[in-house]
């Protein structure tokens, strides 16, 4: 028989006896929730673009609210989410290992699959060792907070992804942020650091809302001059940049000069999870000091096996990357020929600058109704006057799909006075 569990807290009578107000509600804490009305206003206007439930997916086409729409907002760059080898590997692992690991890597949740993936990634990236996290977000949290301690300093580009910023917040060191891509401002900050303690520079390899590429050669030069470590988050570069898709460092022929490469499996590798690759002693340290790694349940077997398969497909089918870049050029040139401002993008991420918030949401809605799914990017992610629609292509988009999307952009852009 299960013994009764002691009840916690006061009864209503006990509260009265000790003078506690039995009707008081946590008004102060929840007041901000009551005052947050903007999202409901947008929902009421029929312009709300978030949390759209996909009921079916056919790679480049998804079904939302009963209608087929061209997916022009996914990070599935190589189109591997439906690749038969990826699906077969995931299904086989599901039946062999079960649905989950039910524990952390540190204790009972390590599989031989995790080790296989870590070895494969380290070899592919040209690094000594690798550690796999349950999410890409957790990879940066774990890398930064695990390495940077009291008295040490982290330097971040102001447009670094939120997981990098949050990793710095979780660390005990000091954080300094430099203007996006302005490495002179980074140097000025480094010049002021006279502590002589550990220093880490963290940048995105490809910036997810702009599509531009970090200047790795200059970052390496600066890091070496100041004795700093350089970490590059290749979430949007893995499978996209480099001779074989190895990422930003390889794109510049400087992979060996980048101290740490972080990334995610939720984009080109068609799953979920993340990693950090670097020197063996650094990865060994993280395995024993990174709280987001130690205290998180490990990556499920099906996801891990799917990533292993996707990484192999990435290497076996280089034509996918060639097609991705052909599609990126078609989309970029199409937007530019129509008169749209796509900013400094150099990658398959193609932002279309719209301007005002209301116009951006209206443009999104009209595209959605026309069967094209995009992602609106609005404050605080960008300044109020620089709202945009973020588009991205896959290797598996057909020329006809890209042209159909461009035609919809052209019609709506003229209607709303954007072009």
If we measure between CA atoms, which residue out of 129, 163, 108 comes closest to residue 294?
Answer: 108
Strand partners, 262: 233, 276
Sheet with 349-355, strands from edge to edge, namely: 349-355, 387-392, 375-377
| 3-class DSSP assignment, residue 254 | coil
3-state secondary structure 9-27: CCCHHHHHHCCCCCCCCCH
Give CATH 3.40.640.10 domain extents, the chain: 84-316
Over residues 288-298, the mean pLDDT reads 97
Residue 208 annotated in active site:
yes
Mean pLDDT of 114-128: 98
State how far the alpha carbon of 370 is from the alpha carbons of 67, 267, 286, 350, in Å: 10, 26, 48, 19
In the predicted structure, residue 196 carries a pLDDT above the cut 90:
no
Q: pLDDT of 71-83, one tens digit each?
A: 999 999 999 999 9
Question: 70, 344, 397, 402: which is closest to 181 by C-alpha?
Answer: 344
Tens-place pLDDT, residues 32-64: 999 999 999 999 999 999 999 999 999 999 999
- Residue in 208, 268, 271, 298 annotated catalytic: 208
Q: Residues 95-123: what's their mean pLDDT?
A: 97
CA neighbor of 238 nearest in space, from 267, 218, 217:
267
CA distance 322 to 309: 20
- Domain boundaries 84-316, CATH class: alpha beta
Fold of the domain built from segment(s) 45-74+318-415: 3.90.1150
Locate CATH 3.90.1150.10 in the chain.
45-74+318-415
Instruction: Indicate if 236 belongs to the active site.
Output: yes
Q: Which of 267, 271, 392, 397 is catalytic?
A: 267
Partners of 197 in the β-ladder: none
Residue with token string 């300044």? 383
**267 tagged catalytic:** yes
Residue 35's H or E segment, with its range, is helix 27-35
Q: Which two tokens mark 43? A: 């929902």
Q: What percent of the chain has pLDDT over 70?
A: 94
Min mean pLDDT across 13-17, 122-126, 293-297, 383-387 is at 13-17
| Cα–Cα distance for residue pair 27/4, rounded to 1 Å | 34
Active-site residue identified among 83, 114, 236, 251? 236
Please tell me whether residue 174 adopts helix, strand or coil conformation: strand
Q: Which long-range contacts (CB under 8 A, 24 or more apart) does 176-184 make?
A: 180/207, 181/157, 181/212, 181/214, 181/215, 183/215, 183/218, 183/219, 183/222
- Write the CB contacts of 335 (distance below 8 Å, at least 6 apart in sequence): 342, 350, 352, 406, 409
Say what the pTM is: 0.93
| Token pair for 114 | 């995790």
Average pLDDT, the chain: 95
């Amino acid at each position: 028989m299960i013994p009764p569990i002691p009840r916690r807290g006061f009864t209503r009578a006990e509260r009265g006896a000790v003078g506690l107000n039995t009707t008081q509600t946590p008004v102060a804490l929840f007041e901000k929730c009551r005052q947050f009305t903007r999202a409901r206003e947008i929902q009421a206007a029929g312009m709300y673009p978030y949390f759209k439930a996909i009921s079916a997916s056919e790679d480049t086409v998804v079904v939302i609210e009963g209608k087929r729409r061209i997916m022009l907002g996914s990070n599935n760059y190589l189109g591997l989410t439906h690749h038969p080898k990826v699906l077969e590997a995931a299904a086989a692992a599901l039946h062999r290992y079960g649905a989950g690991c039910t524990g952390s890597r540190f204790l009972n949740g390590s599989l031989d699959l995790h080790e296989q993936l870590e070895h494969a990634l380290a070899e592919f990236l040209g690094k000594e060792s690798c550690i796999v996290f349950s999410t890409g977000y957790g990879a940066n949290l774990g890398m930064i907070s695990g390495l940077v301690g009291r008295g040490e300093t982290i330097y971040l580009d102001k447009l670094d992804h939120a997981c990098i910023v949050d990793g710095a917040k979780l660390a005990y060191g000091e954080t300094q942020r430099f203007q996006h891509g302005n490495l002179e401002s980074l140097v000025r900050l480094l010049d002021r650091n006279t502590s002589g303690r550990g220093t880490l520079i963290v940048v995105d390899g490809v910036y997810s809302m702009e599509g531009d590429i970090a200047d790795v050669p200059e970052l390496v030069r600066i890091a070496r001059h100041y004795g700093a470590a350089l970490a590059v988050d290749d979430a949007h570069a893995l499978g996209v940049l480099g001779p074989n898709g190895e990422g930003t460092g390889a794109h510049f022929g400087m992979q060996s000069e980048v101290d740490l490469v972080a990334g995610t499996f939720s984009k080109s590798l068609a799953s979920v999870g993340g990693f950090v690759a670097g020197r063996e002693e650094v990865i060994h340290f993280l395995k024993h000091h990174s709280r987001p790694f130690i205290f998180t349940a490990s990556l499920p077997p099906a996801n891990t096996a799917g990533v292993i398969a996707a990484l192999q497909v990435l290497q076996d089918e280089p034509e996918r990357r060639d097609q991705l870049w052909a599609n990126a050029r078609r989309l970029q040139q199409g937007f530019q020929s129509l008169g749209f401002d796509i900013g400094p993008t150099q990658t398959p991420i193609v932002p279309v600058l719209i301007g005002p918030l209301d116009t951006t949401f209206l443009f999104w809605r009209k595209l959605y109704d026309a069967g094209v799914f995009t992602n609106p990017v609005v404050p605080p992610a960008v300044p109020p006057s620089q709202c945009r629609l973020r588009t991205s292509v896959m290797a598996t988009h057909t020329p006809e799909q890209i042209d159909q999307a461009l035609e919809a952009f052209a019609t709506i852009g003229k209607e709303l006075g954007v072009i």
